[in-house]
Protein backbone atom coordinates (compact mmCIF):
# COMPACT_ATOMS: atom_id res chain seq x y z
CA UNK A 1 0.00 0.00 0.00
CA UNK A 2 1.14 3.53 -0.67
CA UNK A 3 1.30 4.88 2.85
CA UNK A 4 2.40 8.35 1.78
CA UNK A 5 2.51 10.09 -1.59
CA UNK A 6 4.54 13.28 -1.66
CA UNK A 7 4.60 15.73 -4.54
CA UNK A 8 8.13 17.17 -4.47
CA UNK A 9 10.04 18.11 -7.60
CA UNK A 10 13.34 17.80 -5.72
CA UNK A 11 12.65 14.05 -5.50
CA UNK A 12 15.05 12.46 -3.00
CA UNK A 13 16.92 14.78 -0.64
CA UNK A 14 17.74 14.85 3.08
CA UNK A 15 14.18 15.47 4.29
CA UNK A 16 12.90 12.60 2.20
CA UNK A 17 15.72 10.11 2.62
CA UNK A 18 15.80 10.35 6.40
CA UNK A 19 12.97 12.25 8.05
CA UNK A 20 9.98 11.29 5.91
CA UNK A 21 10.99 7.68 5.27
CA UNK A 22 11.48 7.03 8.99
CA UNK A 23 8.28 8.87 9.93
CA UNK A 24 6.28 6.79 7.46
CA UNK A 25 8.02 3.50 8.24
CA UNK A 26 8.27 2.78 4.52
CA UNK A 27 9.85 -0.39 3.22
CA UNK A 28 10.45 1.22 -0.17
CA UNK A 29 10.80 4.68 -1.65
CA UNK A 30 9.46 4.94 -5.19
CA UNK A 31 10.30 7.94 -7.36
CA UNK A 32 7.47 8.18 -9.88
CA UNK A 33 7.91 10.20 -13.06
CA UNK A 34 8.13 9.07 -16.68
CA UNK A 35 11.01 11.39 -17.67
CA UNK A 36 13.10 10.61 -14.59
CA UNK A 37 12.56 6.88 -15.07
CA UNK A 38 13.82 7.19 -18.66
CA UNK A 39 17.03 8.96 -17.57
CA UNK A 40 19.80 6.43 -16.79
CA UNK A 41 21.82 8.97 -14.80
CA UNK A 42 18.93 9.80 -12.48
CA UNK A 43 18.02 6.12 -12.16
CA UNK A 44 21.56 5.51 -10.91
CA UNK A 45 21.98 8.64 -8.78
CA UNK A 46 18.65 8.81 -6.93
CA UNK A 47 19.11 5.53 -5.01
CA UNK A 48 22.49 6.85 -3.83
CA UNK A 49 20.73 9.79 -2.17
CA UNK A 50 18.93 7.38 0.14
CA UNK A 51 21.64 4.86 0.91
CA UNK A 52 20.44 1.94 2.94
CA UNK A 53 16.90 2.23 1.63
CA UNK A 54 15.15 0.33 -1.10
CA UNK A 55 14.72 2.95 -3.84
CA UNK A 56 12.91 2.32 -7.10
CA UNK A 57 12.81 4.85 -9.92
CA UNK A 58 9.74 4.05 -11.98
CA UNK A 59 7.51 5.45 -14.66
CA UNK A 60 3.86 6.00 -13.80
CA UNK A 61 2.91 2.67 -15.40
CA UNK A 62 5.70 0.83 -13.56
CA UNK A 63 4.66 2.40 -10.25
CA UNK A 64 1.05 1.31 -10.78
CA UNK A 65 2.14 -2.23 -11.69
CA UNK A 66 4.50 -2.46 -8.70
CA UNK A 67 1.91 -1.16 -6.22
CA UNK A 68 -0.70 -3.57 -7.54
CA UNK A 69 1.73 -6.52 -7.38
CA UNK A 70 2.94 -5.67 -3.83
CA UNK A 71 -0.13 -4.54 -1.84
CA UNK A 72 1.32 -5.55 1.53
CA UNK A 73 4.54 -3.53 1.12
CA UNK A 74 4.58 -0.12 2.82
CA UNK A 75 5.52 2.38 0.12
CA UNK A 76 6.53 6.02 0.13
CA UNK A 77 5.99 7.43 -3.36
CA UNK A 78 7.53 10.70 -4.46
CA UNK A 79 5.99 12.25 -7.55
CA UNK A 80 7.83 15.00 -9.38
CA UNK A 81 4.66 16.71 -10.59
CA UNK A 82 1.04 16.85 -9.46
CA UNK A 83 0.07 15.21 -12.78
CA UNK A 84 2.11 12.13 -11.77
CA UNK A 85 0.17 11.91 -8.51
CA UNK A 86 -3.18 12.35 -10.25
CA UNK A 87 -2.35 9.48 -12.63
CA UNK A 88 -1.73 7.15 -9.65
CA UNK A 89 -4.97 8.24 -8.00
CA UNK A 90 -6.87 7.79 -11.26
CA UNK A 91 -5.46 4.23 -11.47
CA UNK A 92 -7.31 3.43 -8.26
CA UNK A 93 -4.26 2.70 -6.11
CA UNK A 94 -4.73 2.59 -2.36
CA UNK A 95 -3.06 5.75 -1.06
CA UNK A 96 -3.30 6.59 2.62
CA UNK A 97 -1.99 10.17 2.57
CA UNK A 98 -1.16 12.75 -0.12
CA UNK A 99 1.13 15.67 0.72
CA UNK A 100 2.26 18.61 -1.39
CA UNK A 101 5.87 19.06 -0.35
CA UNK A 102 7.84 21.31 -2.66
CA UNK A 103 7.62 22.70 -6.15
CA UNK A 104 10.39 24.98 -7.29
CA UNK A 105 9.48 27.60 -9.87
CA UNK A 106 10.00 26.52 -13.47
CA UNK A 107 11.66 29.19 -15.61
CA UNK A 108 9.54 30.34 -18.51
CA UNK A 109 6.21 29.49 -16.87
CA UNK A 110 3.63 31.84 -15.38
CA UNK A 111 3.94 30.58 -11.84
CA UNK A 112 2.72 32.01 -8.57
CA UNK A 113 4.36 31.31 -5.22
CA UNK A 114 1.64 29.55 -3.23
CA UNK A 115 3.89 29.12 -0.18
CA UNK A 116 7.52 30.03 0.30
CA UNK A 117 8.52 26.65 -1.20
CA UNK A 118 5.68 25.80 -3.59
CA UNK A 119 5.25 27.45 -6.98
CA UNK A 120 2.25 26.59 -9.13
CA UNK A 121 0.81 27.55 -12.49
CA UNK A 122 -2.88 27.80 -13.28
CA UNK A 123 -2.65 24.33 -14.87
CA UNK A 124 -1.01 22.96 -11.71
CA UNK A 125 -3.84 24.44 -9.63
CA UNK A 126 -6.40 22.59 -11.76
CA UNK A 127 -4.49 19.34 -11.19
CA UNK A 128 -4.17 19.94 -7.44
CA UNK A 129 -7.92 20.57 -7.23
CA UNK A 130 -8.62 17.37 -9.18
CA UNK A 131 -6.45 15.45 -6.70
CA UNK A 132 -8.36 16.98 -3.80
CA UNK A 133 -11.73 16.22 -5.39
CA UNK A 134 -10.79 12.55 -5.80
CA UNK A 135 -9.52 12.44 -2.21
CA UNK A 136 -12.62 13.68 -0.44
CA UNK A 137 -12.17 17.40 -1.12
CA UNK A 138 -9.00 17.99 0.89
CA UNK A 139 -5.32 18.41 0.06
CA UNK A 140 -2.65 19.18 2.63
CA UNK A 141 0.91 20.46 2.53
CA UNK A 142 3.69 19.87 5.03
CA UNK A 143 7.44 20.25 4.51
CA UNK A 144 8.59 17.94 7.32
CA UNK A 145 6.71 15.55 9.61
CA UNK A 146 7.12 17.85 12.62
CA UNK A 147 5.66 20.91 10.83
CA UNK A 148 2.00 21.85 10.93
CA UNK A 149 -0.05 20.89 7.89
CA UNK A 150 -1.66 23.64 5.87
CA UNK A 151 -4.83 23.50 3.80
CA UNK A 152 -3.31 23.57 0.34
CA UNK A 153 -6.54 24.41 -1.46
CA UNK A 154 -6.94 27.47 0.76
CA UNK A 155 -3.32 28.45 0.01
CA UNK A 156 -4.00 28.13 -3.74
CA UNK A 157 -7.04 30.38 -3.44
CA UNK A 158 -5.17 32.94 -1.35
CA UNK A 159 -2.43 32.98 -4.01
CA UNK A 160 -5.02 33.79 -6.67
CA UNK A 161 -5.08 30.34 -8.27
> Does residue 13 have an active-site annotation?
yes
What's the CA gap between 56 and 78, in Å, rounded?
Answer: 10
Task: Assign 3-class secondary structure to 104-138.
Answer: CCCCCCCCEEEECCEEECHHHHHHHHHHHHHCCCC
Element (H, E) at 18: none
Residue in 13, 23, 81, 97 annotated catalytic: 13
Active site residue ranges:
13
Amino acid sequence: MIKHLRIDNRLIHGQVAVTWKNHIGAQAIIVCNDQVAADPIQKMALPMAARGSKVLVYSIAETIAYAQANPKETMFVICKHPSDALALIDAGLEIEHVNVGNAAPVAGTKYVMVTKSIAATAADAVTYRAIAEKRGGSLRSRMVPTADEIDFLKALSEAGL
